[in-house]
Each structure stands twice: as C-alpha cells, then as structure tokens.
Structure 1
C-alpha cells in the first residue's frame, strides 16, 4: 500500500502541462462493459474516444491522457488493445504487472495506430509475455507490440518475454517483430522509436518449421524495415531507433537480425546495452543472413553502437554478430566475446569504423569484409586463444585501413607501424575485477600484459574525429595519458591476493549484472533456462544475401 501511494503521488506530481486526465485502472479483467469499474481496455477506449467508458475518467482530445495500472497480476487478452489517440500507459512495475494471452489463445497485445500521426505513445513499467501472431491468421508480423502509425514511440522499463511470430501463408514473407514490429508507418512522416531500461528475453520470429511458404523471421526482438512484406503488404522504415541500457537474451529469428533487424534510411543509436545468447532459428531452405544486430542502412548519416557488449551469441554459416549490409556505422567502447560467429561483417558498399573495442574468441575471425565495404580499426584488440583462421578476412575490393594501436593474433588486422601484430594481450579469465566497478564481469588484462598502456597518447579520437572522453563504463579516459580499448584504467595492483581489489587496464567490460556466466556448450542453451523448441532441420546452407 505504501508503494502504491508513493507511485501515485510521484505520477500525479510529474504530469506536465501537456497532459490531460489521469485514468486509473482498477481491475485486471479484460472487459468492455458497464459493470462499475475501469479495465485497461475501457481506459484505452476512454482515451481514444474522449468519453467516459464504464467508470473510467473521460479522455481529452487536445492533450495526452495518462493511464495508470497500479495493480499486481495478469491481464489476459483475447484481442489486441488498439491505440488511436495520444496516451501514456504506466504499470506498477515489470515484475508486478503482466499482459498475457488467454490460455490456449495467441494474440497480439497492443497496436498503436494514431489517427493523427503527430501524436506520441509511451509505455512503461509492465511485462508483455506470451503474445504472438497466429499461424492460421493473415498477419505478417507482430507478437507483442505493433507500431502502425504515430510520431514518437517511447518504451521504458518494459520486459518482452516469450513472444512468438510464426507464419505460414503464400502471400507473406519476411515475418518478424515478435516483441516489437514497426510498421507499416505509411502515414508517419518522421516516426521514431526510443527504448530504454528494458528487457527482451526469448522472443522468436520464424516461419512454420518444415514449410517453404511464409518466410523466415527478420528481427525477433525488434523489426523495423522498409519494403515488401508480401505480395500486397508494404512497409516504411523508422526515421530513428535509439536503444539505451537494454538487455537482449535468448532471442532468435529464422533469417537474420536475431535480436534487431533494421532496414531503411534509419538513424540507429545503441548504447550501454547487452546482447547475450541470442541465436538463429533457421528451419531450412533459406539460410542465415546473420546478425544478432543486422543493419541495412540507406542513408549517409553515421549510426553508432557504443558501450555495449555481445556475449556468447550464435549464427549459422559463419555470419557476423553485427552485420552492416549498407550505410555508415561507428562502433566504440564495445565488447564482443565468445560468440559463435565473427564479431563484424561489413558488406556491399558499407563503411564500418571500429574503435577502442575488444573482440575476443569470436568464431575463427574477428572482422569479415565482402564486396566493396570500407573498414577501419583503431585502438582495438582482435584476438583468439589458440588457432585462428584470420582475424581480419577481407575479399578483394574491400578497403581496409588500420589507424594504429591495434593488437591481433596473426597480423591481418595489425598492419600499421604502431600496431602489435601476433601479440598476446594478456587476458585474465572472465570475472569481476575492481570493487569500484560493481556489477561488471570482465576478462581483464594481466598487469604487465602487452595491451597495458599500448594505446594512443593523450587523445582518444571517437566518431567523426571528436574526442572520446569516457570508456565503456562511463569512466573518464584516457587514464595514464594512454587510450586503451573498451575499458581504460590504470594498471595498479592494490592487493595481489584478491582480484576484487585489483585495478587494471582492460580491453573488456561487460555490463551484465546478476546473470550467470555464459554457456560454453555448442547449442548455447544452459540447463538453467527454458529454451523454445525449434523443430525441423537446421542445415548450413549458403545465404542468398
């Protein structure tokens, strides 16, 4: 009760002048009637129609309505909630309030289809679990949340778990967005999606196992793409996608972008996030485009991934963890560790810049370049324990430039005079190092290792040549005048008997609080978690991409 009152007071006093009525949901029942209470569906209708539905407050037409659901338990839906007017929906917490499908009935949860595409939508403090597109329905996407039209969509402190998009239909292909699908967006001039402090866990996007109809999935957690989705279905892209402090675990798509797939003239910014144990759900025929994050960007504006970790993910056909199929991408302060795939794959005429990042034990290669891609590498570790086929593996026609201060296993990345080719950086095992960095696991550098103080002197050049003033943890860099990898810290052994009191320079920093160590088995399926059953063969076939 005290928590409820506190949240209520904070909510009331935080309402801005641009917001209208407060609508409080007081029942977990999914209903639309006149029985003297206010359900979530009735609250949405009040906001949409600007009238009083059942006992809900009257919505307003000129300001944003605020719906509060300070209840604990499950709201089970049989049909989606359709949002047509600007609104915010706030739950009591993602560990407290759950939107679910009714037993034995799969449905989407929320469709946002603003009549006025200048209107915004906000969703926070709730879990969307077990939603999906039914195989027998003519639906081309969308497990939990579909963003059909609108201006800015903001998702904050929301969990998307166990949502499924699984389609078999001869007129549909490229299904995706088991958690969030952005589209069709046909009337939205500048649609933007902002995701912060959220969780995407175990969302699956695929066609029917064993079927040649209905395509494989693109983007199990988030799908935002331009182009044909079927013979009569067209989709427009987001203008911008921003992901901050968000975790992606155990998501899988049948074609590519196993966590995130973006295609179009979209500005992408991903920061302070974790991608762990995401994998492919290929069921045959098409192969794997790859990409835990797959970016096919048409615009010239640079996108960016910063302060983010990719741990123990897997793709088929040796496709990259991060695939850049076109466009411009800068990656800095980022860790890719123990993935069953190359860390990066740059394709087509893309431009990839990797800076102050650490790429360790990722399949047999760190960076792959094909076609006419351009790749630069600065102040990075690209290294394997044991045999490596080629850290940097580029087809003829790929332009590669080392900008210096790189360490690699075999000399294929470290080609400039200030590089360290064929050099062991001196990595300690994955663990917690430094009690000034609570909640971070990292395979740190050993004191005296080759990578200690091996970076640039004084200046850490970031995206577009601007100074990079912080490392992956947000700590000021450079330390000791040298710029070093994703984790920049002085090598001062305070207590040689306790790794928790050791402050060291490190190329790795993993923002993964309170999670178990990554699985080392080939299937990436630790016994402690429940994984979806992926039926049908999973052959390693060549991709058409």
Structure 2
C-alpha cells in the first residue's frame, strides 16, 4: 500500500505543473476580447504566461478544441513568434481535438499550418484534421530538429508545397526531428517529394496504422519520402501518384534513402507517371543507393523490380512483378466506422488473415488495433494494412441470407 501511495504521489507531482487551456472561439484573433483563440492558447503555452483570454501555460500544457472549424485569418507567412501565418509551437504540449471528423484546422494556403520547434519540446497532436497548408518544407506540419512530435487519429488533406516546385518537400509533414504518427490518414497532399510525409536530418520516424491515398509528388515518394531511419508497420499506400510532371524523373509511392524496416503493410496499386515518357517505372517503391527497405515480414507489395527492392524478404511477404502486379483487392477509400477514411480489404483480398502471427509486443507483430480502433485480430490472424476487416460474415466468404 505504501508503494502505491508513493507512486500516486510521484504521478501527481509530475502532472500537477501542467495547465489545461480551453479554446473558446473559432476565430483567429489576437485581442483582449475575453476569448481564447487557438493562436492565443499556443502563445500562452509557449510563454507560460496568461495571454489575452487564455490562462497561463505551465510545463507540458494541454490545449482542448471543440468540434468546430478553426480558420487562419492573420496573414503573414515566415513569421516565427506565432503572431501571424502558421501556428508556431515552441514548448511541450498536447493539442487535443474532438476527432478528425469533427475538429478541423484550416490554413490559408499562404503558409503551413503548424511549425513545431523549440529545443527538447515534446508535442502531441490528436483528433484533428489539418488542411490547406502551404510551404516549401512541410506544407501541413514542419517538425524542426531537436523536437519530437506524436500525431494520433489525425487527417492531413489538401496541403501542398508550391505547385510546380520540385524542391518542395513534405506536403503533409516534413520532419527533421523525432516523428511518430499513428492511426491517421494522408489524403490528396502534394509536394515535389514526399507528398504525404518527407523526413530528413538526424531524426527518426515510426509510422503505424496509416493510410495514404491520392497523394502526389512531382518527383519521388508520392506518399512517403524517407531520408532518415524509419520503422513502418500496418500501413496502406494505394492510389498515390509519383512523377506528376511526366518528365520521367520520379518514382514510387514510397521512396527510401535511409535504413527502413517495414512489416504488415500494403504498398500496391500506385502509379508512376514515368510510364508516359517510357522511363523506368517504379509504381510502388523506389530504394535509392543510400537506402535499404528491409522486411520484418508479412508485406504485400504490388510490384517488386527495377528500383523497388525488398531486402531480407520473409515467407509471409507477397508481391507481383512488372507486367503482373499483385492486386490488394481493397474496398473504396471511405469511412468504415472510424473518424478517418481507410481502405478496408475485401474478403477475397490476399491481405486478409495474412499478417504476422507473432505475439503482440514483439518485433514484426501487428499493431494491437487498427486505424479505427478495431481490435486485432478479427479472424485467426490479423490482416495486412491499416484496416482490419471486421465484418465476420463477409470475412468468411459468403453473403448473409436474403430476407
């Protein structure tokens, strides 16, 4: 009993310094009007001082957002004190929305949405949609070196680096720090490289239970461009489009230029527009000279060959070859009971019950639940990809009886 009381006391002391800041207006304001806007809440957290209608932040604060849309109205890209343009997070905090389907943070297409920095800051963003951001590096979110970011249950959509600029990187997220993204979806983001996510620098990345659909790159990595070490598990990358300027200089939904480990993931059904100019075609992945894409088992890759090379292939891996791609047999991109869209596999999909049989918590195991929070497995084994088929009738391969 004494040990329990000591642990409770430690927990209370460790958390008592944090403040909860509730955003009370959807307007993008900096004014002494008695309201607490999202921009003002972040400033209060950054400075640990009361700011207009927001209480003082303290330590690792929590900012709470209602189910609403929060639009940026204060123009001024390139400013880093959170006074205009993007929202500049410079301290450790948690930004918590009501769910990606309910809480929407909308940029002005003149600047990115979030600039996450500050030495040693640990930031968590959950339950929001981030859209309409713009910026050469990180149109939706920029994570600076020396900081860490964990995003959970989010949708990043409609974020784009400058159109036609091949140097633009990270339509959804550009990361130079320590990045973890879970149970989230990247849809219709656009960049020179890394339409959904671009990583670089000395950081590291862990991605799990993510769906990438309709993301675009002028060059490589329509969904993801990894230029720093990464671990990928239970991802679905499908219908993403690389080499969108049709010049033959671009490859793959997944670009790998660093040590990367992948497991229980679908990378299939993507398009490399290099085919238009008869260039080398790598629809699904492209591994550069400085990269390795190492299997930890149970992946489904539409086409291996050319620059799409999987090292240490395991017996549970499945793939097609040029001219005969492996069809993942996915249902349409839609909401299937969660807060973000996913590709649910059909009952006939080769992804169904083809995930790892390793006990959860061990290397190569499936995530404990899917992108919607559905427990894994639903059958005898978990499914490959971000979404677990949870219709047990159709999983069995037969339709219910007619009434």
TM-score, with structure 1 as normaliser: 0.54
Indicate the SS of the match to 1:89.
strand
* Separation in 2, partners of 1:51, 1:182: 24
- Which residue pairs with 1:269 in the alignment? 206
Q: 1:244 to 1:465 in 2, by over 3 A?
A: closer
Q: Which aligned pairs between 1:233-248 and structure 2 lie closer than 5 A?
A: 237-238=176-177, 240-248=178-186
Q: Which aligned pairs between 1:205-216 and structure 2 lie closer than 5 A?
A: 205-206=161-162, 209=164, 216=167
- Which residue pairs with 1:351 in the alignment? 292
Does 1:222 pair with 2:164? no
Does 1:109 pair with 2:106? no
Indicate the SS of the match to 2:200.
strand
Q: What are the Cα deviations for residues 282-339 of structure 1, in whole angstroms up to 9, with x where unaligned?
A: 3xxxxx1334201112x5xxx3211111121110136111111122x22111112321
Q: What are the Cα deviations for residues 49-105 of structure 1, in whole angstroms up to 9, with x where unaligned?
A: 555444544x25xx33xxxxxxxxxxxxxxxxxxxxx54321113xx1313235x88
Shift of 1:499: 7.3
- Which residue pairs with 1:148 in the alignment? 117
The partner residue of 1:124 within 90, 96, 102 is: 96
Indicate the SS of the match to 1:377.
coil
Indicate the SS of the match to 2:167.
coil
Shift of 1:200: 0.4
Unaligned runs of 5+ in 2: 1-11, 78-83, 98-102, 273-282
- Conservation of the 8 A alpha-carbon contact between 1:148 and 1:182: yes
- Conservation of the 8 A alpha-carbon contact between 1:346 and 1:375: no
- Conservation of the 8 A alpha-carbon contact between 1:178 and 1:222: yes
- Conservation of the 8 A alpha-carbon contact between 2:46 and 2:89: no
* Separation in 2, partners of 1:305, 1:368: 22
- Which residue pairs with 2:279 in the alignment? none
- Conservation of the 8 A alpha-carbon contact between 2:20 and 2:64: no
Shift of 1:249: 0.4
- Which residue pairs with 1:441 in the alignment? 344
Does 1:177 pair with 2:138? yes
* Separation in 1, partners of 2:227, 2:88: 25
* Separation in 1, partners of 2:366, 2:23: 46
Q: Which aligned pairs between 1:112-511 and structure 2 lie closer than 5 A?
A: 112-113=89-90, 119-125=91-97, 126-133=103-110, 143-150=112-119, 151-165=121-135, 175-183=136-144, 185=145, 188=146, 191-206=147-162, 209=164, 216-224=167-175, 237-238=176-177, 240-253=178-191, 255-280=192-217, 282=218, 288-297=219-228, 303-316=230-243, 317=248, 319-327=251-259, 329-341=260-272, 342-354=283-295, 355-360=297-302, 365-369=303-307, 375-378=311-314, 379-383=316-320, 388-389=322-323, 430-431=330-331, 441-445=344-348, 460=357, 466=363, 468=365, 473=370, 475-476=376-377, 479=380, 498=399
Root-mean-square deviation (CA), in Å?
4.3
Q: What are the Cα deviations for residues 506-541 of structure 1, in whole angstroms up to 9, with x where unaligned?
A: xxxxxxxxxxxxxxxxxxxxxxxxxxxxxxxxxxxx
Q: 1:377 to 1:465 in 2, by over 3 A?
A: farther
* Separation in 2, partners of 1:479, 1:494: 11
Shift of 1:261: 0.3
Unaligned runs of 5+ in 1: 1-13, 65-85, 114-118, 134-141, 166-174, 225-236, 283-287, 392-407, 409-426, 502-545
* Separation in 1, partners of 2:206, 2:152: 12
The partner residue of 1:88 within 62, 69, 86 is: 62
Shift of 1:161: 1.1
Q: 1:109 to 1:124 in 2, by over 3 A?
A: farther
- Which residue pairs with 1:533 in the alignment? none
How many residues are treated as equivalent by the alignment?
349
Q: 1:305 to 1:374 in 2, by over 3 A?
A: closer
* Separation in 1, partners of 2:43, 2:188: 35
* Separation in 2, partners of 1:366, 1:48: 47
- Conservation of the 8 A alpha-carbon contact between 2:239 and 2:269: yes
Q: 1:333 to 1:472 in 2, by over 3 A?
A: farther
- Which residue pairs with 1:402 in the alignment? none
Instruction: State the structure with more CA Rg.
Output: 1
* Separation in 2, partners of 1:485, 1:31: 45
Q: 1:100 to 1:352 in 2, by over 3 A?
A: same
* Separation in 1, partners of 2:117, 2:343: 38
* Separation in 2, partners of 1:265, 1:222: 16
- Conservation of the 8 A alpha-carbon contact between 2:360 and 2:366: no
* Separation in 1, partners of 2:205, 2:172: 15
Q: What are the Cα deviations for residues 335-366 of structure 1, in whole angstroms up to 9, with x where unaligned?
A: 12321132222221422223212233xxxx33
- Conservation of the 8 A alpha-carbon contact between 2:234 and 2:384: no
TM-score, with structure 2 as normaliser: 0.70
- Conservation of the 8 A alpha-carbon contact between 1:307 and 1:471: no
Indicate the SS of the match to 1:17.
helix
